[in-house]
Structure 1
């Protein structure tokens, strides 16, 4: 099953290197990755958990669009 992995440029935990390392555990996974830049979405901070904040609602459509395409 395909997967989408999102992380933010200002995420100290799930940075690009850590995401790549986590994905290496699943070599057969069809994974799409995207690093979110807060300023691209008029946000000052996303970090590790702010994606789920109501203030980051602008980001939610990324997940909705991906799920509609792959589910």
Structure 2
């Protein structure tokens, strides 16, 4: 009787330890993903967006017109 109680106790203890380790790993991965997403969202995206806007609006007007003319000619 006592041996089966100790066996159940040890199985429960091992299960709790394994569950704790698994939850710690899941929490660490989740935290790393959120940290990476925050870095990309607030550091990388504004720089890329600013570069895109600068390149888009400072491109020579003739180049933009040539692209529009090329598209117009290709559609015919």
Greater fraction strand: 1
TM-score range, shorter chain: under 0.3
Normalising by structure 1, what TM-score? 0.23
Normalising by structure 2, what TM-score? 0.22
Greater fraction helix: 2
State the structure with bigger RCO (CA 8 A, min sep 6), 1 or 2: 1
